[in-house]
């Protein structure tokens, strides 16, 4: 099986993305996660561009990796300075990194407007810098910056830059769509020309940006044209619209195009790795991201759910387990019996035809009233348990009362009184809180804690309110979504009412009752 290698540049190019900033410790965690995924090259950045980078390279030198090789990034020598006397190149070859990636110009516009050197001097800068790094024992990759713009402007000169790098000893010449504006057909054409220009023995790589929403497609087009190394970042981190997303490119290469990239076990860890890196980088995971997003294999329409139940390939382009993701059947007003039964089966429940029909009708009626179970699977499971006859309420409510008092000194006090029956015994409890929901939560827990001691493990982690019919002003219907967790899992519940306290109470009760249902 022919191999295509991955080259991750999260720690250099990815840091140009909005809001991206990592400590040295966090960068080391990124390296370890990418290494475990099987990425072949990890670009760590400039060895001494700042104290943080210097410390990173010192610590990377002591890190043992199983799969990845660390690359240091730099530029070709300055004009008029010998490569051996260029301080930046001296720093590169002095680092521990066995691979050096040098970026150089391949677009005449940049020669005229940016670095202001003639063509021959630019070619000499490429040639001398690569030869120097090779002479110092470094494996060398050359990034032909703005190659596709340069090829469009003057293909002969752009290809001459590529040939010069190959002849100087670069083991890989990577073609860069630095402005991100190229389209796949053109990328394929230009890549094929570069492959022919370097001949056998030198590998062509591809580095694309996503400004035209084509970074992944352009990368795959380049591979089809002969490129055998793909640069990018997991989740597409990067400046402007981001870099090529390796989380999409990896499964496409391996599962769609038949190339060997990583092991099957490593590929099956793709989704968890992508989510872990989002957490490290303080980024919100995109639920609609291809392959690894939460919704990538979520089915909502009744026909789709029925098709997946019969044969998953009817509405899925691959088995989600291959990339470490999960199939999800979403409950909504579009659901049919197949969706309901699939949801029940996931919860360990059995619904006959009559119960499934009742559940469908009840679901549609509730969605019409404003319930939205996609984000509240725990509440939907309770609905299914009620139809299956396995629902076990924690208590019977007699009444609750909430009072809020604002005093002249600005202090606000909230108190909840609750009366419930548990196992035939009546409990009355009063509790204060920093708001009505918090006060109700405390009073309810106090009332049933003796019967359910594990209540202390349950934490409310998020509280969201949405007004469903804004034209009704303060009399509008309110939807409340609660997220809860314990030591093992997280779940969401929902409540809907014209009264925000009642909606909150409903979601709160569901959150506790779900935790104590038999599993």
H helix runs in 61-98, sequence order: 87-94
Cα 479 from Cα 475, distance rounded (Å): 13
CB-CB neighbours of 461 under 10 Å: 11
Which two three-digit tokens encode residue 219?
């990368």
Kindly indicate whether the domain formed by 5-262 is annotated with CATH number 3.90.1300.10: no
424: left (phi over 0), alpha (psi -120 to 50) or beta: left
Cα 359 from Cα 380, distance rounded (Å): 10
Nearby residues of 378 by Cβ (< 8 Å), 6 or more positions away: 484, 491, 492, 493, 510, 511, 514
Class of domain 396-515: alpha beta
Residue 334 pLDDT: 47
Residue 475 pLDDT: 55
β-bridge pairing 478-485 and 298-299: unpaired
Low-confidence ranges of the chain (pLDDT < 70): 49, 299-310, 312, 328-339, 469-475, 519
Which two three-digit tokens encode residue 51?
């104290």
| Cα Rg of the chain, angstroms | 30
Domain borders along the chain are 5-262, 298-387, 396-515
279-312: pLDDT as tens digits: 888 887 888 899 999 778 776 655 665 666 667 6
Nearby residues of 497 by Cβ (< 8 Å), 6 or more positions away: 477, 478, 503, 506
**What is the three-class DSSP state of 83?**
helix
Domains 5-262 and 396-515 share a fold: no
SS3 content of the chain, % helix, strand, coil (to 5): 45, 20, 35
Residue 376 pLDDT: 84
List b or e across 196-230, with b for residues whose CB sees 16 or more CB atoms inside 10 angstroms.
Answer: ebbeeebbbbbbbbbbbebbbbbbbbbbebbbbbb
Residue 52 pLDDT: 85
Whether 56 contacts 83, CB under 8 Å: no
Whether 93 contacts 139, CB under 8 Å: no
> For residue 385, with 0-12 CB atoms within 10 Å meaning exposed, 13-18 middle and 19 or more buried, which class applies?
buried
CB-CB neighbours of 178 under 10 Å: 23
């Amino acid at each position: 099986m022919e191999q295509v290698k991955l080259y991750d540049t999260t720690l250099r190019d990815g840091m140009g993305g909005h809001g991206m900033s990592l400590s040295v410790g966090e960068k080391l965690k990124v390296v370890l996660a990418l290494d475990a995924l099987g990425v072949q090259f990890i670009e760590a950045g400039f060895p001494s561009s700042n104290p943080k980078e210097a410390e990173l390279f010192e610590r990377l030198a002591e890190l043992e990796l199983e799969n990845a090789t660390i690359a240091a990034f730099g530029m070709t020598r300055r004009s008029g300075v010998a490569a051996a006397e260029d301080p930046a190149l001296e720093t590169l070859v002095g680092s521990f990194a066995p691979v050096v990636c040098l970026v150089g110009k391949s677009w005449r516009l940049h020669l005229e407007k940016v670095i202001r050197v003639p063509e021959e001097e630019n070619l000499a800068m490429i040639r001398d810098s690569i030869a120097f790094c090779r002479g110092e024992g470094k494996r060398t990759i050359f990034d032909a910056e703005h190659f596709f713009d340069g090829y469009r402007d003057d293909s002969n000169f752009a290809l001459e830059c590529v040939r010069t790098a190959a002849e100087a000893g670069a083991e890989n010449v990577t073609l860069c769509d630095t402005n991100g504006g190229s389209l796949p057909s053109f990328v394929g054409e230009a890549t094929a020309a570069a492959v022919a220009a370097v001949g056998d023995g030198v590998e062509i790589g591809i580095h694309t940006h996503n400004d035209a929403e084509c970074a992944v497609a352009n990368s795959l087009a380049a591979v089809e044209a002969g490129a055998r190394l793909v640069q990018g970042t997991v989740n597409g981190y990067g400046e402007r619209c981001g870099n090529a997303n390796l989380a999409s490119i990896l499964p496409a290469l391996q599962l769609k195009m038949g190339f060997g990239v990583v092991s099957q076990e490593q590929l099956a860890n793709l989704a968890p790795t992508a989510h872990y890196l989002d957490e490290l980088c303080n980024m919100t995971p995109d639920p609609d991201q291809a392959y690894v997003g939460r919704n990538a294999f979520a089915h909502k329409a009744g026909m789709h759910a029925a098709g997946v139940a019969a044969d998953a390939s009817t509405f899925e382009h691959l088995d989600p387990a291959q990339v470490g993701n999960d199939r999800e059947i979403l409950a909504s007003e579009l659901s049919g019996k197949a969706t309901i039964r699939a949801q029940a089966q996931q919860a360990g429940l059995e619904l006959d035809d009559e119960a499934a029909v009742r559940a469908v009708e009840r679901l549609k009626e509730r969605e019409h009233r404003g319930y939205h179970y996609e984000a509240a699977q725990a509440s939907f499971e309770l609905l299914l348990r009620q139809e299956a006859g396995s629902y076990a309420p924690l208590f019977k409510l007699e009444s609750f009362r909430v009072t809020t008092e604002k005093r002249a000194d600005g202090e606000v006090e909230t108190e909840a009184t609750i009366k419930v029956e548990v196992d035939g015994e009546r409990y009355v409890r009063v509790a204060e809180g920093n708001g009505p929901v918090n006060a109700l939560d405390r009073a309810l827990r106090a009332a049933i804690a003796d019967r359910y001691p594990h209540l202390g493990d349950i934490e409310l982690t998020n509280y969201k309110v949405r007004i469903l019919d804004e034209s009704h002003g303060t009399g509008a219907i309110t939807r409340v979504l609660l997220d809860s967790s314990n030591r093992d899992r997280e779940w969401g519940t929902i409540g809907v009412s014209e009264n925000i306290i009642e909606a909150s109470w409903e979601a709160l009760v569901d959150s506790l009752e779900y935790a104590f249902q038999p599993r």
